[in-house]
């Protein structure tokens, strides 16, 4: 069972907020840098939230994801990050 687009969006948005404290609007067209994920430290924090956060990350949807399946950078769009989550999350 794959995650839905809505679940992917919820995960990415909540994990961005949790990882870097972003409080503004998040659009799929934004780059991660535009929503506060400004450097490798922010990317690592975001990946950690996506992979391990049982409240808002992939585990919150009863799925798992391998950290090395995510190829995120500050220039990655929010929509592309969401797609990576959807494509790589799996039911354990």
pLDDT digits over 6-63, tens only? 999 999 999 999 999 999 999 999 999 999 999 999 999 999 999 999 999 999 999 9
Task: Give the pLDDT band of residue 1 (cuts 50, 70, 90).
Answer: confident
Provide the pLDDT for residue 5.
96
Question: What is the DSSP code (8-state) at residue 25?
Answer: -
Q: Quick one: average pLDDT of 71-89?
A: 98
Rounded CA-CA distance 7/34 in Å is: 22
Task: Give the pLDDT band of residue 89 (cuts 50, 70, 90).
Answer: very high
Query: pTM for the complete prediction?
Result: 0.96
Which residues lie closer than 8 Å to 56 by C-beta, 6 or more apart? Answer: 10, 11, 14, 15, 18, 49
Tell me how many degrees the CA angle 82-90-44 measures, rounded to the nearest 5. 50
Q: Which of these, 20, 92, 65, lies nearest to 82 by C-alpha position?
A: 65
End-to-end CA distance of the chain: 10
């Amino acid at each position: 069972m794959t995650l839905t687009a809505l679940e992917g969006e919820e995960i990415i948005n909540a994990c961005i907020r949790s990882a870097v404290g972003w409080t503004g609007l998040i659009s799929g067209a934004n780059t991660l840098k535009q929503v506060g994920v400004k450097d490798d430290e922010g990317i690592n924090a975001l990946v950690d939230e996506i992979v391990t956060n049982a409240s808002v990350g992939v585990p919150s949807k009863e799925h798992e994801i391998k950290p090395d399946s995510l190829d995120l950078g500050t220039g990655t769009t929010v929509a592309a990050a969401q797609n990576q989550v959807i494509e790589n999350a799996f039911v354990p």
